[in-house]
Amino acid sequence: MDGIYRSRVALALVSMGVFAALWQAIVWIGGYPGFILPSPLAVALRWGELLANGTLWWHMRVTLTEILIGLGLGTVIATLLGYVIAHSPLAEQLLSPFIVASQSVPTVAIAPLLVIWFGSGILSKILVCALIVFFPILVNTVVGVRGVGEELRDLMRTLEASRWQMVWMLEVPAALPTLLGGLKVGATLAVIGAVVGEFVAADQGLGYLLKQGQQVYDTAQVFVGIGTLVILAQALYGTVAVAERRLLRWRQTESK
């Protein structure tokens, strides 16, 4: 396992080195000025500067707070509502038009309304994050719960399992792989939601840092913001992936 991990890390480092070399070659060959396409070294220096003076840490902390709270809120609401829909055709008929309608409108169009209603503070950004992660987690919850075999439900009823035993001992373990798949998608989408909210109205956060760099043609700062968002998204996705491996370890044991 350690060998596989080391090979993946080595491959990632090699690919990053190749990417940086190609980037630098494009800058040299094209002769682009720094405000159009800064070199990797210029971006690295700007990154170090923003880290050293604490600016990047501050904005990253704000954005990460919005992401985590929004992801948690959206996950809880989507999971509970998805469970209800999975068991109630009437609830599905009543709620589906509204759920689909909420997803047919781009989040960037809804974000200004949330800012008007809830202000330009952190609450509106949290709601944007929750809204953007809601649909994939909801759909995966419905699919996961409905995917539980009817023969397993009959077995639980034969054993006179209570409603809560049915949920925690059958439905949750059986639906967990699908639920975690939706959570991995939601974790990356939450980063997009936070940035969209900060683009609309904010005076802090990585979205604000990106917008500030764009306004003063500090393209290196824009690249720093983009790179930090990529790191956050990768970290969140990786955290869910690690949790998935640990929570579903029983499946690997059964397959052996």
Answer yes or no: are the C-beta atoms of 201 and 209 closer than 8 Å. no
Which residue, among 126, 131, 139, has the nearest Cα to 109 in the 3D structure? 131
Kindly tell me if the per-residue pLDDT of 1 is higher than 70. no
Vertex 83, ends 152 and 136: CA angle to 5°? 115
Taking only the tens place, the pLDDT of each residue in 6-17 is 777 778 778 888
Taking only the tens place, the pLDDT of each residue in 182-192 is 889 889 999 99
The residue assigned the tokens 């998608």 is: 185
Which residue, among 142, 235, 147, 225, has the nearest Cα to 184 in the 3D structure? 235
Longest CA–CA separation in the chain, Å: 75
CA distance 226 to 197: 15
Query: CB-based contacts of 142: which residues, under 8 Å, 6+ apart?
Result: 82, 85, 86
* Residue 57 DSSP symbol: H
For range 106-115, the mean pLDDT: 83
Which residue, among 237, 230, 221, 235, has the nearest Cα to 51 in the 3D structure? 221
Taking only the tens place, the pLDDT of each residue in 157-209 is 777 667 777 777 777 787 888 888 888 988 999 999 899 888 888 788 899 99
Which residue did the predictor score with more confidence, 220 or 92? 220
Query: pTM for the complete prediction?
Result: 0.85
Per-residue pLDDT band at 68 (split at 50, 70, 90): very high
